[in-house]
Amino acid sequence: MKKFIKEFSEFALKGNVVNLAVGIIIGASFQALVNSLTKDIISPVLGLFTSKNFDTLYVDFFGVTISYGAFITNLINFFIMAFVIFVLVKLINKAGEQISPSQPKPEPRKCPYCIQEIDKTATRCHHCTSVLPEPASESAEEPAKAI
Ligand SMILES: [Zn+2]
């Protein structure tokens, strides 16, 4: 039992789980906000044209009630959420790129005799054991300072 509790607390306190929980809570409250926006603002404004709150519109179809107003309200809701999530994902991707810009990998050094990749500081090829010429130093040594 002790082990179980320990495992569970390790799982629950991992960064990913906490982040996920925060995301779900923020998402839920945001969903409520968008619901309120469509239900309390957009739907009444659309209702101006029908002189009725838009999401209460319905048709009687052979005794069956089809509340198309509520459906269209949910549809608007969905599009607002989809748009916001799209913008959010775009922003996150952009931020991620700025933090770690994908740099082009430097060309690997190759042995001139066997054309195998070797370490850039190697003095002898570990594939063919040839003695290698001095590696081309990219950062030239600083010129001696005059004292
Ligand atoms: Zn070699």
pLDDT above 60: residue 142: no
Domain check: are 17 and 60 in the same one? yes
Distance 73 CA to ligand 1 centre (A): 70
Domain check: are 79 and 109 in the same one? no
Distance 105 CA to ligand 1 centre (A): 22
Distance 104 CA to ligand 1 centre (A): 25
Residue 139 lies in a domain: no
Distance 123 CA to ligand 1 centre (A): 11
Residue 143 lies in a domain: no
Distance 121 CA to ligand 1 centre (A): 14
Residue 37 lies in a domain: yes
- Tell me the average pLDDT across 101-116: 82
| Residue spans of alpha helices (H) in the chain | 2-12, 15-36, 43-50, 68-99
- Model pLDDT, residue 21: 83
pLDDT digits (tens, 9 = 90+) for 27-81: 888 888 888 888 888 877 877 777 777 777 788 888 888 888 888 888 888 888 8
- Model pLDDT, residue 146: 55
| Between residues 100 and 84, the one the model is more confident about | 84
Number of folded domains in the chain? 2
Of the candidates 97, 102, 47, which has an alpha carbon nearest to the alpha carbon of residue 72? 47
Domain check: are 59 and 124 in the same one? no
pLDDT above 70: residue 101: no
pLDDT above 50: residue 140: no
Domain check: are 83 and 130 in the same one? no
Distance 122 CA to ligand 1 centre (A): 11
Domain check: are 128 and 93 in the same one? no
The backbone torsions φ and ψ at residue 80, rounded to the nearest 5 degrees and listed phi first, read: -65, -45
Q: Are the C-beta atoms of 54 and 47 separated by less than 8 Å?
A: yes
Distance 140 CA to ligand 1 centre (A): 25
Domain check: are 13 and 63 in the same one? yes
pLDDT band at 128; cut points 50, 70, 90: very high
CA-CA distance, 74 to 82, in Å (whole number)?
12
Which residues 6+ apart lie within 8 Å of 37 measured at CB? 80
pLDDT band at 106; cut points 50, 70, 90: confident
Distance 110 CA to ligand 1 centre (A): 8
Domain check: are 95 and 108 in the same one? no
Rounded to 10 deg, the angle between the 68-99 and 15-36 helix axes is 140
Domain check: are 114 and 74 in the same one? no
pLDDT above 70: residue 136: no
pLDDT above 80: residue 124: yes
- Model pLDDT, residue 114: 92
- Model pLDDT, residue 4: 85
Domain check: are 90 and 21 in the same one? yes
